[in-house]
Structures are given as C-alpha cells and as structure tokens.
C-alpha cells in the first residue's frame, strides 16, 4: 500500500478595489488612510499564506497588479458580488483537492501558510462567531457561498445539505478582521 499523497490546496483571497473597500472605516479615516490600511492588511495575508499557491479574486486592474507584485496569481471575476466572485473562482480550481478562502483583512494572519484543515468543511468564524473569515472545503462541490450576515451558520447549513463534515473554529487568531472603526483600536502595529 503506497502512502497517501498530500492534498493539493489553493488559497483564494477575494479583494475589492482599494478605492471602494472598507466603507465603514471611511467614516473615521481619510480615503488615503483606508487605502493604505487595506493594502497593508492584504499584503500581510498574501505573505502569510505562502507557500500555498494563491489567487487574488478581483475585477480591478490596480488590485490585479498589487496581487502580481505580491507574488500571487490573479483570478479576474466577472461577478460583482463577493459570493458570485468566490463562486466563479472556486469553480475554476477543480484540479486542486481543497480550496481555502481567506479574507484579505485579517489582523493577525500568521500561520495561514501551514494551515492544514481536515477533509471536510472548516469554518473559522469572526470574533462575533457569526461571520466567516476563513473557509476551507473540498473542490468540485455544488457549494453555495453565503458571505454576509450570519455566513458562518449559512455555510454550516450548506455543508449539512451536501452531507459533508463541518468543523467550526471560533477561537482562532484569524477570527479578528478589520471592518468597523472599533476594530482599529486593537490593530497590531506589525502589519
């Protein structure tokens, strides 16, 4: 009996164009500061997911150039919504065994490059326990993505619908993202 081959994993990082990202932060920060912060957070995530092959999911030339300079590949989405863009990218990576979808605004993305989730669905929730910051799943499923309000519960239900085991992680360092002005107060300086 030959040893099992390691799973082939790909990371998908959806990234909105920098001039539109983080609308809630624009209430307390200047346009320039929000764009700078968005680039810093995304850059930290792209460094942290190495050595996994990574595709930045976007529909913007500036973001695509940023991804390429950061050593990531680019998936140009046609869909304008997050769920549509992730669905398109996910459908395109069927040659891999597993896809790991990582949001580009994690405060502390360290360790993502050594993340080895189980064979089913793994959901890393946000610090509220309701959002999905990291989602790992086998490829080639008819998985319906439901980012937005209560996405963790909706992704859990989707795994149940497909009859796939689902692990929920609520205490990961990846549970902290930067969406709201309150999230800025405890942002690490090491980004």
**Residue 189: inside a domain, yes or no?**
no
Binning the chain into helix, strand and coil, the percentages to the nearest 5 are: 30, 20, 45
The Cβ of residue 28 has, within 10 Å, a number of other Cβ atoms equal to 12
**Residue 2: inside a domain, yes or no?**
no
**Residue 66: inside a domain, yes or no?**
yes
**Residue 110: inside a domain, yes or no?**
yes
**Residue 1: inside a domain, yes or no?**
no
**Residue 170: inside a domain, yes or no?**
yes
Q: Number of structural domains, the chain?
A: 1
d(CA 34, CA 40): 10
At 34, list the tokens.
């929000």
Question: Who contacts 164 (Cβ-Cβ below 8 Å, separation ≥6)?
Answer: 120, 121, 137, 138, 141
The Cβ of residue 106 has, within 10 Å, a number of other Cβ atoms equal to 26
Q: Which domain holds residue 106?
A: 9-182
CATH number for position 38: 3.90.550.10
| Per-residue confidence in pLDDT tens, the chain, 191 aa | 555 667 899 999 999 887 766 555 555 556 767 788 889 999 999 999 999 999 999 999 999 999 999 999 999 999 989 999 999 999 999 999 999 999 999 999 999 999 999 999 999 999 999 999 999 999 999 999 999 999 999 999 999 999 999 999 999 999 998 765 466 665 444 44
**Residue 177: inside a domain, yes or no?**
yes
Q: What is the pLDDT of residue 190?
A: 41
Question: How deeply is 33 buried, as exposed, middle or buried, from its count of CB atoms within 10 A (0-12, 13-18, 19+)?
Answer: middle
**Residue 150: inside a domain, yes or no?**
yes
Per DSSP, the residues of 23-66 read TTGGGTS-HHHHHHHHHHHHHHHHHHTTTSEEEEEES-HHHHHH
Measured between alpha carbons, how far is residue 157 from residues 65, 145, 168, 169, 186 in Å?
Answer: 36, 11, 12, 15, 32
Single pTM value for the model: 0.90
Backbone phi, then psi, for 90, in 5-degree steps? -60, -40
């Amino acid at each position: 009996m030959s040893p099992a081959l390691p799973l082939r994993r790909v990371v998908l990082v959806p990234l909105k164009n920098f001039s539109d990202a983080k609308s809630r932060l624009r209430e307390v920060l200047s346009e320039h500061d929000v764009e700078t912060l968005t680039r810093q957070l995304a850059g930290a995530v792209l460094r942290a997911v190495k050595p996994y092959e990574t595709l930045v999911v976007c529909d913007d030339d500036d973001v695509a150039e940023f991804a390429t300079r950061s050593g990531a590949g680019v998936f140009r989405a046609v869909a304008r919504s997050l769920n549509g863009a992730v669905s398109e990218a996910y459908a395109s990576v069927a040659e891999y065994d597993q896809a790991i979808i990582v949001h580009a605004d994690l405060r502390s993305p360290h360790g993502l490059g050594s993340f080895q989730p189980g064979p089913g669905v793994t959901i890393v929730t946000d610090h509220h326990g309701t959002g999905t910051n990291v989602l790992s799943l086998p490829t080639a499923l008819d998985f319906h993505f439901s980012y937005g309000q209560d996405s963790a519960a909706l992704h859990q239900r989707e795994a149940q619908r497909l009859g796939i085991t689902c692990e929920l992680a609520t205490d990961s360092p990846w549970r902290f993202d930067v969406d709201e002005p309150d999230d800025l107060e405890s942002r690490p300086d090491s980004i």
